[in-house]
Amino acid sequence: MEQTDAQLARAAGQGDSKAFGVLVERYRASLVGYLAGLLGTREDAEELAQEALLRAWRQAPTLREPATVGAWLRRIAHNLAMSHVRKPRPVPLVDDPPERDANAPDEDRWIAVLEAVGRLSEPHREVVTRKHFGGYSQEQIAEQLHLPAGTVRSRLGRAYRQLRKMLL
């Protein structure tokens, strides 16, 4: 019988690395997707997802509500992403731009979408990333953000209109 997230979180909090490994398998892809939506680059998203999971392992004994392990992981990832965005970064100087793969039009479109999502205001970006990169329903997003479902719907609608203008 498959263990629930709450059971796995309790076991991980008691030092069970195998239980935590199962949680990592369940949540890693959605964390990377969520972070990619916030940050705009898959490379940064993967790096911060790894850091979030490492922090979660270290803090597992402090998790008060094991049933909310998914939201807890997203919060750790979100906080890391916000710190990452605020950090000033040096811009590398490149003599020759990297060669582009001629078969990468989909990659260009994906990058354009991620950049457009990154230009949305924080409330709009938050609901879009949870919906499309985290895979959550509007009702789940409303619950996670402690908002009325109608507010989530209207933010998504406004965000979609803004994205259409940016991308078309």
Please state, rounded to an integer, the average pLDDT across all residues of the chain: 84
Tell me the HSE value of 155 on the side-chain side, using a 13 A CA sphere.
23
List the domains of the chain with CATH numbers.
1-87 (1.10.1740.10), 106-168 (1.10.10.10)
Structure tokens at 42: 């898959």
Q: What pLDDT does residue 136 have?
A: 84
Give yes or no for a contact between 51 and 80, defined as CB atoms under 8 angstroms apart: yes
Using CA atoms, how far apart are residues 15 and 4, in angstroms rounded to an integer?
17
Q: Name the pLDDT band for 26 (thresholds 50, 70, 90).
A: very high
| Angle at alpha carbon of residue 117, lines to 113 and 120, rounded to 5° | 145
Structure tokens at 120: 């949305």
Residue-by-residue DSSP string for 36-84: HHHHS-HHHHHHHHHHHHHHHHHHGGG-S-GGGHHHHHHHHHHHHHHHH
Each residue of 58-92: pLDDT tens digit? Answer: 999 999 999 999 999 999 998 898 888 776 655 45
Instruction: Indicate whether this model's pTM tops 0.75.
Output: no
Give yes or no for a contact between 131 and 138, defined as CB atoms under 8 angstroms apart: yes
Using CA atoms, how far apart are residues 47 and 32, in angstroms rounded to an integer?
9
- Poorest-confidence range of 71-85, 93-107, 133-147? 93-107
Q: Is 21 a residue whose pLDDT tops 90?
A: yes
Using CA atoms, how far apart are residues 165 and 159, in angstroms rounded to an integer?
10
Using CA atoms, how far apart are residues 168 and 155, in angstroms rounded to an integer?
20
Give counts: helices (H), strands (E), the chain: 8, 0
